[in-house]
């Protein structure tokens, strides 16, 4: 089933995750609620998108494999990607939600220090994630969440 394109002026959400299955699932879920979805599999892609698109919200994984696409292998950590984005792309005011398979308790202090209070562990409770997104963005352009 194909989802309709987002309405003009739809809130933009950048999903940063190296797992294409997660990216596809997030795309369907977010588009079905009227959001415009931007996708990045690497830190380099995320930085490029942030510079061009200025999303309204970021959904961030924390663990990325080493590869040349991660700016020489240096941005393997979601926190480093966000730190870099905030310094290079004027992204300090963009809210971030962590969506990761890593244990949230292990990263709680680091997330709070980075100003990221919301952490969802994969597999994600879609209703709770959508409620958090709606809360941060103030609703969706296509109507209320179900």
Q: Over the stretch 25-34, which tens digit does the pLDDT of each residue have?
A: 999 999 999 9
Q: Which of 102, 134, 99 is nearest to 25 (CA)?
A: 99
pLDDT mean across residues, the chain: 86
**What order of strands is seen across the sheet that includes strand 36-40?**
36-40, 12-16, 57-60, 96-100, 118-121
- The hierarchical CATH code for the domain 12-137 is 3.40.50.2300
Q: What is the pTM of this model?
A: 0.86
Per-residue pLDDT at 143 exceeds 70: no
Q: Residue 86 is inside which H or E element, if any?
A: helix 78-88
Domain limits of the chain?
Answer: 12-137
Q: Over the stretch 48-97, which tens digit does the pLDDT of each residue have?
A: 999 999 999 999 999 887 755 444 445 568 999 999 899 888 899 999 99
């Amino acid at each position: 089933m194909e989802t309709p394109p987002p309405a003009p002026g739809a809130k933009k959400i950048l999903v940063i995750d190296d797992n294409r299955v997660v990216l596809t699932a997030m795309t369907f879920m977010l588009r079905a609620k009227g959001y415009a979805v931007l996708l990045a599999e690497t830190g380099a892609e995320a930085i490029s998108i942030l510079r061009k698109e200025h999303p309204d919200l970021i959904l961030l994984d924390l663990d990325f494999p080493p590869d040349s696409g991660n700016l020489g292998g240096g941005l393997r950590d979601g926190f480093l990607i966000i730190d870099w984005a905030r310094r290079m792309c004027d992204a300090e005011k963009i809210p971030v939600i962590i969506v990761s398979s890593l244990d949230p308790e292990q990263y709680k202090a680091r997330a709070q220090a980075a100003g990221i209070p919301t952490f969802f562990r994969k597999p994600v409770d879609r209703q709770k994630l959508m409620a958090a997104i709606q809360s941060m963005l103030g609703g969706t352009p296509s109507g209320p969440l179900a």
